[in-house]
Structure 1
Amino acid sequence: MRLDRGDAMPIYRQIEARIRAAILDDRLAPGTRLPSSRSLASQLAVARATVELAYNVLAGDGLIEGHAAAGTIVAPRLQADHLRAARRREAAQRPVIQPSLIWSATTRPLQMGVPAFDAFPRKLWTRLAARTARGLSTAQMTYQDTSGYEPLRRELVRYLAIARGVVCSIDQVFITAGFQGALGLIARILLKPDDEVWVEDPGYFFGRDALALAGGRPVPVPVDGDGLDIAAGMARAPEARFVVVTPTNQFPLGASLTTARRADLLAWAGANGTWIIEDDYDSEFRYRGPKMPALKSIDAPGRVLYVGTFSKVLFPALRLGYLVVPEPLIERFATSAALLQPQPSLADQITATAFMAEGHFARHVARMRGLYAERREALLQALAALPKPHWAVEAAAGGMHVIVRLPAGADDAAAVMRAHAVGLSPEPLSRFAMEAETGPGLLLSFTNLPAETAARTMRKLHRALQA
């Protein structure tokens, strides 16, 4: 067993991960005796308590057992189906780079997470950016408030109160490098090794993988038509330290967390001391029914950390987001932000402030909502016109994509590869699941698909899937 002391992963986690992998790969068969904690600690030149901690984690997962006479052994009752389920969980929890959702040199039709670049007010943004550069003062060239540009935080306080019902002070708002920046700050301050974290299943794997990499233990909680199943979460991990949830528009299925479940989640979190990370990633875009308020807007227990981003409304390369924390956490977050959290570009923050303060942001959101409604309808009509035996289309009340359900037994990952070969970039629904049986499906973004090209693009996709 080789350990990397330069790795960010704690040593006990490295030991646990290597033994776990050996068991799941059948290199350690059921009944195999493991070295004693004292012996293994001596071999690895680590403290005995470090090995014992790794063994305790494995024992808690039912992979090893302690026997007085035989010592510590791989659980002899491990069955094939148990091992297969454990392998699926391990594969789902392992941080995996997903290139199509991280970066590509070109934007392709149907690509997830990409707003309508063709409709972005580039000239206006460029003019504001140039004005920012020309007006940069000497005071702005030195070290800045590590919580973020104060005028931008003030604009966000106003925007959140009006648009999301979130009433907060400027001190509660922290500017971050997008959603990942906010999640990293939360993990540094509040997450402890092996903390259980409820994650939606299926759900956003970047958040899940990031928290796993930071030492948390994701617990998949099923999602249904009412959003996150709170009762199932309490049954699976009643003492969970965190919940990561997309209550306004669940990703990827599109359900909104019902009022009853919101109340249950907040009551349980308040009683349990659990932190709720609300990812409000695209709440601006709703096409039918009333707009859902943010979970943070009814957070009487003070357990919600609200995360927002400009990536979906403006453009992802801006890497600009924001985090609203409960008042008791302000000092801890301010200290950590000052020591560990680099701020996004001040020039970008100033430009974004002007974009909001001068009314451009509100007009842009309204325009995009109307444009996306048109593109969504064009995509749905194009799908309806296809010869599609056994296809089903699901379009949520909000969001930036629709789901095409493929026939049972289809391989959605293989279907995506065929689509990529012809220049299209849907995503497989199965990629977002840990344990959930989602069935095969494709996620099709409509935001970067002009209405006049929808029919032609869908015919191209259909031909690729028939190949």
Structure 2
Amino acid sequence: MPKRAAGVSLPFLALDSGEGAPLHHQLYERLRESILSGALAPRSRLPSTRTLSRELGVSRGTVEGAFAQLDAEGFLERRVGSGSVVALPEHARLPRTSPSAPRHRESRPVLSRRGQRLSRDVLPPEPRDVRPFTPCLPALDLFPTRLWSRAVARQARLLGPESMTAGEPAGFRPLREAIAAHLGTARGVRCEWRQVLVLSSTQQALDLSARMLLDEGEGVWLEEPGYLGARAAFESAGARVFPVPVDAEGLRVDVGVSRAAKARLAYVTPSHQYPLGVTLSLPRRLALLEWARSARAWVLEDDYDSEFRYATRPLAAIQGLDVAGRVLYAGTFNKVMFPSLRLAFLVVPDALVEAFTAARAATDGHAPLLHQAAMAHFMEAGHYVAHLRQMRLAYAERRDVLLDALRREVDGGLVPGAAEAGMHVTAFLARGLRDLDIVQRADTKRLGARRLSPLYLGRREEQGLVLGFSGTSPAGLRDAVRALARLL
């Protein structure tokens, strides 16, 4: 009588040569899953590699490769002359479940309180394609790709072993020096290069500032209406957010003092308020600084697109007026250059430099060195300032085209607000129209318009659209306004 092959039957191990994964890996995965789920019980003896290769119609080497990997990871125990047995004990395997079995619920939340707040504060996804009204999208069609490519290639050629190790947490020194020099002449910011931290985005600057300056329950002034990303950063840190109304002169400092005089921080976009586009007047800038000094609070100045001012020179930053060291200044290259660059910066008061640098190292290490070095060269060679000048001219033309098209196509249906600066215009809807309805319809046409109403935190809620103009050609803007008019 012929000798029968020893070991359990394995009818579920069908392999598929067209699956893409190597056959030995398929066999390894199926056996591993069967052991973890309990389909193969502890101490079960498997067929020999010769027998299993014949049953599966594969080479013996294929089976040997799978068995060797399972043995190395502790799933099998192999002994010469005794074959292979399942080594995973009963208590170590995963419980068997069926699709219809009720899921076990944790007695306590899986996420921390901070994690729960972060998951609730979901920002609207950024479109991955170019849409006509996307706010703050730079003119990618006019970007000096060739100059930038040369800057990156030049720095790549210069990379040596010393440049390929971990970078400085605060950023590449030549870039920090270039940023400090540019901010001093173009934005009136008073700082030394060591006060500049290179980050990946304004959102990272907000998150880092919230972590470092705010304890649970402390108050924050937030412009009303205001930037959702700032609200998300502060609320996720456990801060109590107080909406402070914005009028034609910007943030109502007097209202902020009446609502939360002992707040720990005020977040402002003074040079071009997001989303209304107004400018914080000088008396209110001084009042804000006086409040911060007397309350020992902080001012976080988000200067996201103030390089683009069309009737006058760009206004100086609040940080340049600060003599008490209470202002943190955030800026970004992602809205001037291109969004995927992921380079931004935060200028912190001298007293905070050491602590913020340590926190940067603990949370994210440092920004990629190659793009930092390329950006430093781009600025030192004068390309950055030249690009800014060119974009100011282009954006002024595109803004004028948008405003003219709105007057011609939707006169009365949409009333544009302040438009002296920036990369977007907020337009208010006529009575009876809801921005939710309009934006839902606009999304089907891939227009990229944003709603105004969700940017209000308090009871007041204006209906309007936030319309970017910088990222679309004049002809494209005219077509987009005509499409919007049909929706209205």
Task: State the AA in 1 paired with 2:113.
Answer: M
Matched with 2:144 is: 121
Counting only pairs closer than 5 Å after superposition, residues 22-421 of structure 1 correspond to structure 2 as 95-99=120-124, 102-421=125-444
Task: State the AA in 1 paired with 2:257.
Answer: M
* Cα pair distance change 1:3/1:227, threshold 3 Å: farther
Residues of 2 paired with 1:370 and 1:231: CA distance?
37
Aligned residues: 384
* Cα pair distance change 1:338/1:119, threshold 3 Å: same
Preserved contact between residue 123 and residue 228 of structure 2 (Cα < 8 Å): no
CA apart distance, 1:283:
1.0
Matched with 1:45 is: none
Preserved contact between residue 244 and residue 251 of structure 2 (Cα < 8 Å): yes
State which structure, 1 or 2, has the greater radius of gyration over its C-alpha atoms: 2
Structure 1 stretches lacking a partner, 5+ long: 18-92
Give the TM-score normalised by structure 1: 0.79
The C-alpha deviation readout for 1:330-373, integer Å capped at 9, x for no partner, is 12112222222331211110111111010000000000000000
1:166 alignment partner, SS class: coil
Task: State the AA in 1 paired with 2:252.
Answer: D
Residues of 1 paired with 2:270 and 2:119: CA distance?
25
Residues of 2 paired with 1:176 and 1:388: CA distance?
42
Query: Which of the residues 468, 472, 475 maps onto 1:452?
Result: 475
CA apart distance, 1:5:
6.2
Residues of 2 paired with 1:242 and 1:95: CA distance?
22
2:220 alignment partner, SS class: strand
Matching of residue 434 in structure 1 with residue 457 in structure 2: yes
CA apart distance, 1:460:
1.1
Residues of 1 paired with 2:108 and 2:241: CA distance?
23
1:385 alignment partner, SS class: helix
Residues of 2 paired with 1:146 and 1:116: CA distance?
31
The C-alpha deviation readout for 1:271-307, integer Å capped at 9, x for no partner, is 1010110000001000113431100000011100111
2:409 alignment partner, SS class: coil
The C-alpha deviation readout for 1:374-406, integer Å capped at 9, x for no partner, is 000111111111153443222421111112221
Matched with 2:111 is: 7
CA apart distance, 1:308:
0.6
Residues of 2 paired with 1:421 and 1:339: CA distance?
43
Residues of 1 paired with 2:253 and 2:459: CA distance?
15
Preserved contact between residue 286 and residue 369 of structure 1 (Cα < 8 Å): yes
Residues of 2 paired with 1:340 and 1:299: CA distance?
28
* Cα pair distance change 1:420/1:367, threshold 3 Å: same
CA apart distance, 1:176:
0.8
Preserved contact between residue 180 and residue 192 of structure 2 (Cα < 8 Å): yes
Residues of 1 paired with 2:427 and 2:348: CA distance?
37
Residues of 2 paired with 1:3 and 1:329: CA distance?
41
CA apart distance, 1:184:
2.1
1:281 alignment partner, SS class: coil
Preserved contact between residue 406 and residue 414 of structure 2 (Cα < 8 Å): no
Give the TM-score normalised by structure 2: 0.75
* Cα pair distance change 1:291/1:103, threshold 3 Å: closer
The C-alpha deviation readout for 1:113-157, integer Å capped at 9, x for no partner, is 211110111121112112222211111011221110000000011
Structure 2 stretches lacking a partner, 5+ long: 1-104
Preserved contact between residue 187 and residue 314 of structure 2 (Cα < 8 Å): no
Residues of 1 paired with 2:107 and 2:301: CA distance?
36
Which deviates further from its counterpart, 437-446 or 370-379?
Answer: 437-446
Residues of 2 paired with 1:105 and 1:391: CA distance?
27
* Cα pair distance change 1:436/1:121, threshold 3 Å: farther
CA apart distance, 1:444:
1.0
CA apart distance, 1:4:
4.6
1:251 alignment partner, SS class: coil
Which deviates further from its counterpart, 295-304 or 175-184?
Answer: 175-184
CA apart distance, 1:9:
2.1
Residues of 1 paired with 2:281 and 2:412: CA distance?
33
1:444 alignment partner, SS class: strand
Which deviates further from its counterpart, 294-303 or 385-394?
Answer: 385-394
* Cα pair distance change 1:3/1:148, threshold 3 Å: farther
The C-alpha deviation readout for 1:196-219, integer Å capped at 9, x for no partner, is 110001000111111111111111
Residues of 1 paired with 2:194 and 2:289: CA distance?
23
Residues of 2 paired with 1:187 and 1:257: CA distance?
23
Preserved contact between residue 95 and residue 210 of structure 1 (Cα < 8 Å): no
Preserved contact between residue 278 and residue 418 of structure 2 (Cα < 8 Å): no
CA apart distance, 1:187:
2.0
1:239 alignment partner, SS class: coil
* Cα pair distance change 1:152/1:272, threshold 3 Å: same
Task: State the AA in 2 paired with 1:312.
Answer: K
* Cα pair distance change 1:414/1:191, threshold 3 Å: same
Identity %: 40
Residues of 1 paired with 2:372 and 2:282: CA distance?
35
Preserved contact between residue 132 and residue 476 of structure 2 (Cα < 8 Å): no
CA apart distance, 1:417:
0.8
Residues of 2 paired with 1:2 and 1:257: CA distance?
49
